[in-house]
Chain A
């Protein structure tokens, strides 16, 4: 049985029109917030944030989104919870629901954890990142930021560069952007950018210079330092040379929109000056994150 539409487990499961509806609602909420309109649609609702992996910006963003709609957040501390005593994820989630949560936001290292819970719980489940699979609200906020910057995604070309293999952000974007009419180009070292990603309807190319010329926007992914110097990447210098976005490359593309899911490794995948340039939309992405998550809460809790 497919999951019902209150849940947001991934963008793989959503149609283009469902994604567009969330983006439209997020844009409307943004207008409403910016014009100072009242937003108390979720007053009386409790949202549990079950973050079983470290998170600063995503957790803050989900928290702010809840407060802006008048909802309350049920704090959950992974370090002191019963999960450290061997309690199963399902029992932990059931406990949180029994304590009164009306919706559950979950981040977990295991792929499919949100799907597994959504199939078993009575309350809506929102995926805030499951292993290397998906980070759907990040994909949505990226799409909203791109739509704002480019006017539309229809017919636009978006490049994603870096560690595609281990990136849930890349995967959510690969599921979403083609459904919104965009062409997606991926580039990264052979160890981190598998050709099999083409199964998602995207194109895989070797280096950043192979995708920049055609791209209207580029999303740079963070290179985790523990991957460098091992069997996956030889050195930072080599990565920067073939995959980093510096001012020389940016100068050739004056209209290029630059995104990054953050935190950024300045000087590795993105030059310091690029990160602070007017072409960088990184902090707009974070702002949009709150509005997208507000829209996802409204959808989850059936507010019209």
Chain B
């Protein structure tokens, strides 16, 4: 039995394929595909994997492969890395417990299947330790994910510095913290020869620094998140400073968001990673400052990114090709069927995305077509 999707736009940024076709997939009947897009399934560079609900969220969001948050101890290897399915690709810690002090058993963890090394978004405080970590990781064949930031300058900020911080009375994070982090990471990536991927890019100044750094080091790659492409700092007040509204690093202002969108469109930012995170209720049922940041984003990632970019090709590139470029080969044969212009809202509830309007829906993941 087969089902025919007629006149669907097939987009495959891996081969620069862009054509309209009638496509046969398993099932039965016939579907008008003139408003739909078929593309290779998305790959998520950073997504917390806590259980089956996360796998379901990934699938709903069009992802067929996800790199989980880093594990660090060799005893975790047996349980959490082997065997890795595409939905549960592992990353491993760069330093023990992500504390930035001692190097983790990186080679053991990579041999056991880790696809990336990372301290889970925690910037290393010591530049010397960072250099050592990159030198050690250089020959392991996997990229090192770094969130670029000067931790001293970032401090305990909860909101973008400038007008949002002044208006909402919260301690701010200067974009210059990201700028310094980008230059530091780029300089050390060059010095060590290690493949470095910068995550969580959030500011216009950071985008500008990234552009310059990539001129000197074209192998440097970077990603941002659907939250940083779409969310406004003012949402913190609209959500009454609730813990679940916390996003870290903080989201930027309108100028930052526009610069991020432009950087994704022109390829300066290679990929968008969902940074999907299922938190426990008690971790966020508290005041903003006490909350552990984290938002379930995978279901809405395509729609949020598409809303921000206003460009389905760039959106698909950032979710399909960008992550594969960063990770290397990913064994995924599924395809995602998209309805790019479907508008819908995220369910109301205790989430930074409560009630958020998105543009674009993943209809289903299809086996090889």
Real complex partners, A and B?
yes
Give chain A's interface residues, CB within 8 Å of chain B.
Answer: 3, 10, 12, 88-90, 110-113, 115-116, 118-119, 130-134, 168, 171, 194, 196-200
Using CB atoms, name the residue of chain A closest to B289: A110
Number of A-B contacts (CB under 8 A): 70
| Number of chain B interface residues as a range | 20 to 34
B162 and A89 contact, CB distance less than 8 A? no
Which single member of A116, A133, A200 contacts B242 (CB below 8 Å)? A116
12 A-B pairs within 8 Å (CB atoms) are namely: A10-B169, A110-B290, A112-B240, A113-B241, A113-B287, A115-B240, A116-B287, A119-B240, A196-B161, A196-B162, A199-B163, A200-B167
A112-B288, A116-B287 known; A168-B169 Cβ under 8 A: yes
Chain B hits for A12, CB < 8 A: 167, 237
Q: Which residues of B contact A200 (CB under 8 A)?
A: 166-167
B contacts, CB < 8 Å to A: 158, 161-163, 165-172, 236-237, 240-243, 285-290
Asked whether B287 lies within 8 Å of A110 as measured between CB atoms, the reply is yes
Q: Which of B166, B237, B285, B286 makes the CB contact (< 8 A) with A197?
A: B166
- Once A194-B166, A197-B166, A200-B167 are accepted as A-B contacts, the answer to whether A89 and B240 lie under 8 Å apart by CB is no
CA distance A283 to B86 in the complex (A): 70
**A111:B167 contact, CB within 8 angstroms:** no
15 A-B pairs besides A116-B243, A116-B288 with CB distance below 8 A are: A89-B287, A110-B287, A110-B289, A111-B171, A111-B288, A112-B236, A115-B240, A116-B287, A119-B240, A133-B169, A133-B170, A196-B161, A196-B165, A197-B166, A200-B167
- A196 in contact with B166 (CB, 8 Å): yes
Distance in angstroms between the alpha carbons of A112 and B246 in the assembled complex: 12
A168 to B169, CA, bound (A): 8
Chain B residue contacts of A199, Cβ below 8 A: 162-163, 166-167
Contact at B169–A171, with CB atoms within 8 Å? yes
- Distance (Å) between the CB of B240 and the closest chain A CB? 4
User: How many angstroms from the CA of A196 to the CA of B168 in the assembled complex?
Assistant: 12
Q: How far is the CB of A139 from chain B (nearest CB, A)?
A: 12
Task: Decide if B242 touches A119 in the complex (CB within 8 Å).
Answer: yes
A2's nearest neighbour on chain B, judged by CB, is: B238
Q: Which among A90, A115, A197 is the interface contact of B241 at CB below 8 angstroms?
A: A115
Nearest Cβ on chain A to B173's Cβ, whole angstroms: 13
CA distance A130 to B290 in the complex (A): 14
CA distance A116 to B239 in the complex (A): 8
Contacts of B290 in A (CB 8 A): 110
Q: Which 3 A-B pairs have the closest CB atoms?
A: A112-B241, A133-B169, A199-B163
B286 touches A89 (CB 8 A): yes
The distance in angstroms between the C-alpha atoms of A282 and B335, with both chains bound, is 71
Check A111 against B289 for contact (C-beta < 8 Å).
yes
Residue among A111, A112, A115 with most chain B CB within 10 A: A112
Decide: A88 and B169 in contact? CB cutoff 8 A. Answer: no
Q: Is the CB of A118 within 8 A of B289?
A: no
B156 to chain A, nearest CB (A): 11
CB of B11 to closest CB in A, whole Å: 40
Query: Are A131 and B169 closer than 8 Å at their CB atoms?
Result: yes
